[in-house]
Structure 1
Amino acid sequence: METKERLPKNTQCSNLFTISQILLRFLATIFAMTSIIMLLVSNEEIYIGSEAFGYLFVGKAQYSYSSALRYMLVVDVGICVFSVLSTIVVLKAMKCSKNDPGHDFYFYLLIFDEVMMIMAISGCASATAIGMVALKGLNKPGISWAPVCPYAHRFCSKITLSVASSYAAFACLATLTIIGACKLKSLLQ
């Protein structure tokens, strides 16, 4: 009978940590990329009126008309770039060194992940706020914005998918932050 060599518990945890780090960073990149693509292809022309009598209004719904959606685009690009860079750093630190990186490495990785997570939620929140205005409009004394979604269904569907994908990237970054904090805590004990 063969006996399987068992890896020490520390090595198993380190391998699990590395795999989860790489996987979550990869997923954050994919979700942020999906959000970017959906934003960029969300443009739609709006026609109000009838074709027979001529249109009363011809307009265009574009993400670039909203500073909140432009901000989310910039944040998602940042998430993509920095997730790829941090994946490379994590791979080099975990695989190239024979010893486990020190607690300084995990501390800076945690800070980095927290900054990216905060940026992600700020982009998601701004896009969600303007999305609600596009969906329901705003009618307050002194200000009135008509809803866009009843006239631009494809635009609103793509923006909704973009925001949902951006929230998924945020969830990956939040999970990375929690995992990083747990790893740092275990090293300091």
Structure 2
Amino acid sequence: MATIEAKLQPNPPVMKNQKLFLGAQICLRSFALATTLAATWIMVTSKQSVEIVGIAFDARYSYSSAFKFVAFANAVVSACCLVSLLFVFLLHLRGSNPNHYFFFFLHDLFIMCLELAGCAAATAIGFVGKYGNSHTGWTPICDHFEKFCHRVTKSVILSYVSLVVLLMLTVGSAIKSREIRV
């Protein structure tokens, strides 16, 4: 009799681990949403005009395809984080099923790869903007457009922070999806 009652009662450490995992999912997804939204906003609003030798020059994120890509990637990742946050709440209400975490793993892996591609593109063009490239004749522009470069740098740093958070979410989803019972 005692063994049947023990099997029917939920295991308190398992319930505690599920609540801890749910809390971590909510916090990390919310933080990824906030950082990608902030990175998008900073990138989209970064612009500066300077006058050099009587000629006005503008620097805007939309002049670079890499900066447009990172802004777009951050916006898409923000939307995906919001959707996945809603699904985490729904999953919690319906009960945890490890089969669902495999789809979270695929989702998290996709948005992490998208964020990584955006970070790489922005870092590459940012490096050229900061230091130039003497072999191709590209001169650095950050000595003239300091405000613009600082805002873009802040956006890229926030993108890398969100990339790390997305990596943690991907690893967590992968670990949780390994609990699938066939």
Give TM-score scaled by structure 1 length.
0.87
| RMSD over aligned Cα atoms | 1.6
Task: State the partner residue of 1:52.
Answer: none
Q: Quote the residue 2:28 is aligned against.
A: 24
Output the amino acid matched with 1:120: E
Q: Report whether the alignment pairs 1:15 with 2:11.
A: no
For residues 100 and 175 of structure 2, the distance between their equivalents in structure 1, rounded to whole angstroms, comes to 14
| Aligned with residue 139 of structure 1, among 134, 138, 145 | 134
Amino acid in the other structure paired with 2:76? G
**Alignment equivalent of 2:42, drawn from 34, 38, 41:** 38
1:181 to partner: Cα distance: 1.3
59, 64, 68: which one pairs with 1:66? 64
**Equivalent-residue separation in structure 1 for 2:91 and 2:178 (angstroms):** 19
Aligned residues: 173
- Counterpart AA for 1:84: L
Structure-1 separation of matches of 2:40 and 2:174: 29
Matches of 1:65 and 1:156, distance apart in 2? 13
* Aligned-partner Cα distance in 2 for 1:68–1:135: 15
Instruction: Please tell me the residue identity of whatever aligns with 1:83.
Output: C
> How far 1:186 moved relative to its partner?
3.8
* Structure 1 counterpart SS, 2:56: strand
1:100 aligns with 2:93: no
Q: Show CA shifts across 1:14-70 (max 9, x none).
A: 101111111111011100011111112210002223xxxxx2x32001100000000
Tell me, which stretches of 5 or more residues in structure 1 are unaligned?
1-5, 50-54
Partner of 1:83: 81
One-letter amino acid matched to 1:17: F
5+ residue gaps, structure 2? 1-9
1:50-106: per-residue Cα shift (whole Å, max 9, x none)?
xxxxx2x32001100000000001100001111001000111111x11x322x3201
The amino acid across from 2:20 in the alignment is L
Q: Is it true that 1:163 corresponds to 2:156 in the alignment? A: yes
Q: Which residue of 2 aligns with 1:117?
A: 112
Distance in 1, matches of 2:106 and 2:159, equals: 20
SS of equivalent to 2:78: helix
One-letter identity of the residue aligned with 2:105: L
Q: Matches of 1:40 and 1:7 in 2, distance apart?
A: 49
- What TM-score comes out, normalization by structure 2 length? 0.90
Which residue of structure 1 aligns with residue 146 of structure 2? 153
